[in-house]
Structure 1
Amino acid sequence: MNSLGVYAIVFYVNDINATLKHYEKIGFNVEVIKEGHLKIALSNFEFEFHDKKLETIEELKAEANKDPKGNGAFIYVKSNDIYTDYESIKESGAIVSNISKRPWGTIEFSITDPDGYKLMIYQLSNE
């Protein structure tokens, strides 16, 4: 299994334009791959957002149309300056949780996107 690797996670969304606006508003560089497909690249990893209405493969279409979106999924994104990032994202008007120190050694906050997916922005508390 050493030859396997993860390079991206795909999230189906209800409104691709709302997703684009949300992630741009909070400061991510979002690339439009093609109609209905967005990409956010962070280091060596990519998040892709696909418009569920444009899925044509039946097996994937069934999954894309399941609702509600975002339940139980947390995307962890490491920050090098958690307090500055928190203030910047909060000022953008995004739905942001309170920043808090966790018992597992992180300082973190969450951002909820239009489909309910949660980005957990974190920094190790000893950094």
Structure 2
Amino acid sequence: MDAFLRVEIFPGDVDVTTDFYERLGFHVTARNDGPPRYASIRMGTVRIGVCEAEPVDPAQRAHPVMTEMVIEVDDVYALRDRIVDRGIIPTENLQEREWGLTDFRVTDPDGYYLRFTSRAD
């Protein structure tokens, strides 16, 4: 049996969120004007549902109550360079980890935390 993971997030503004994720390299695959407004976004096999909800203080999603979404990519260096060129500043820049991964982290406008990673060369 095949299984795929789709994460649902609940931002205060679907347009702001989808714009941010498009700059990360995601593509909008569907939209619904609701209510509630909703968009489906995708990067490879990673799928995220974006369901508009009442705004929440992003600090409420911060450590230690946060969830980290980890997305493995082929070339984390190229992705990091591409998103920086698109105006996104990583929350934590590229780091080579002792366990054999290289990663960087970003925080979206609503406080959701994403780690992009790949195997270190």
Report the TM range for the smaller structure's normalisation. Answer: 0.7 to 0.9
TM-score computed with the length of structure 2 as normaliser: 0.78
Structure 2 partner of 1:14: 12
Report how many aligned residue pairs link the two structures: 114
Q: Which residue, out of 72, 96, 99, partners 1:101?
A: 96
Native 8 Å contact 1:95 1:113 kept in 2: no
CA deviation profile, 1:52-111 (whole Å, cap 9, x unmatched)? 14xxxxxxxxxx969723552111111111111111111111131210011222100011
Alignment of 1:74 onto 2:72: no
> Helix, strand or coil for the counterpart of 2:18?
helix
Q: Which residue, out of 24, 30, 35, partners 1:32?
A: 30
Distance 1:69 1:52, change over 3 A: farther
Once the two structures are TM-superposed, the CA of residue 49 in structure 1 deviates from its matched residue by 1.1
Report the AA paired with residue 69 of structure 1: R
Distance 1:83 1:7 in 2: 24
Distance 1:65 1:100, change over 3 A: closer
Structure 1 partner of 2:81: 87
- Give me the identity figure in percent: 22
Once the two structures are TM-superposed, the CA of residue 41 in structure 1 deviates from its matched residue by 2.3
> Helix, strand or coil for the counterpart of 1:95?
coil
Native 8 Å contact 1:95 1:111 kept in 2: yes
What are structure 1's unaligned runs of at least 5 residues?
A: 54-63
What are structure 2's unaligned runs of at least 5 residues?
A: none
